[in-house]
Structure 1
Amino acid sequence: TSTGLSEKFGVSVRTIYRDIKALEQAGVPVVTEDGKGYSLMEGYKIPPIMFSESEANALITVEQLVLKNRDSSLIHEYTEAVNKIKAVLLYSTKEKAELLSNRIAVSPSIPQTGTSNSLTLIQHALTTFKVLKILYRTEEKDATTERRIEPFALYYSLQECWTVIAYCRLRKDYRMFRLDRVLKIEPLELYFKPHKLTLQEYLKTKEKMFGTPDIPLS
């Protein structure tokens, strides 16, 4: 029962309910039996996932940085993943991780840039070699352009924003697009062959041309 579990692990009943919900969200089949409490579905075995205290602390530290990220899709997916990981931590490790989480802060003085919500979609297109159609706002005010791009790589620039490096079918060359300027994005049922160029080669070439790889070109 929830009361029995709270007494065994020295936590509140509310914590037990929260952890059971997290287990269910992680796909663990928790069965509730009236008058008997909780149990796992017969035949189900929990995979051996164990994190050391230092590994858990590393995840918590990175979490604070991710929460400051300007792409909401990345924040959502990372938070879901971390919650599933927290659900399988030992209670002693979990308590220390939660303490650490409340003792880490990121400076509010970091420049605030535009937000985006397309990083997760672009990641999927990049790994499945899928063409994307985007409506992009250029540096010129109120100027928009529609492009079909082949995602090649992701780059976090000095401007504190994510950019996608992609082969632009309009320009017939590689271009860098800031995600906070992508107004619309749509995956197409078109696929492309993997690019032979490496990310290191692209960045070196761009740095030779402009002195830095951080200038977005569209």
Structure 2
Amino acid sequence: MEYSEVNRLSRLTAVLIQLQTRRIVTATELSEKFQVSKRTIYRDIKALESAGVPVVTEEGKGYRLMEGYKVPPVMFTEKQANALILAEQLVLKNRDASFVQDYSEAIDKIKSILNYTFKDKANVLAERTQYNQVKNQERSSSNLSDIQYALTNQLLVKIEYRNKEESESTRMIEPFALLNSDNWYLIAWCRLRKEFRFFRLDRILSIELQTENFEPHQMTLQEYFDKYH
């Protein structure tokens, strides 16, 4: 098999992974990712369709796979998937470009076996998590997994919190994003203060996920910083 054929097969596989990883993807996004023309992407999509892959074209939006097309060979719980997404944020800080690329491609393959609901939540978590180099390597919190789950499922959370002045209070919060620098911080809408607040995870004394859902905050993490900082 000639190199060009191998290269095309490799790209077709990668395009299929992108379709499995994301709810919808555009020809422009695919052409930019694989550095080929949109005409080439159109041919790739037709080739996948000819091979029996049920690609659905949504006019004005892009391409997606028919729901339920792939039966997952491995099942992850939602918290396991969240842990993998968080690990990706740590790996992205690695200085070895090849390692970062390999891990990111591996995460794409893992995302591809998640159903659409988990996939959307995993993408939200990736967009709402910012990780900087850890200065203190000691574990300082046992609440991260529950907070990730509450964030992606828009669950109200009741916490007992001790601030830097050692004052304790009970808060009802709506988790929005997670940040890490010297410690883990949660950005959340505080119903008591009626504004967004930062909560340091190691100062959360107890946490209780509620059954009540809150309305998702329709903005990105960058939009939050632009608006409030």
TM-score range, shorter chain: 0.3 to 0.5
Give the structure with higher Rg (CA).
1
Q: Which has the higher helix share?
A: 2
State the TM-score, normalizing by the size of structure 2: 0.41
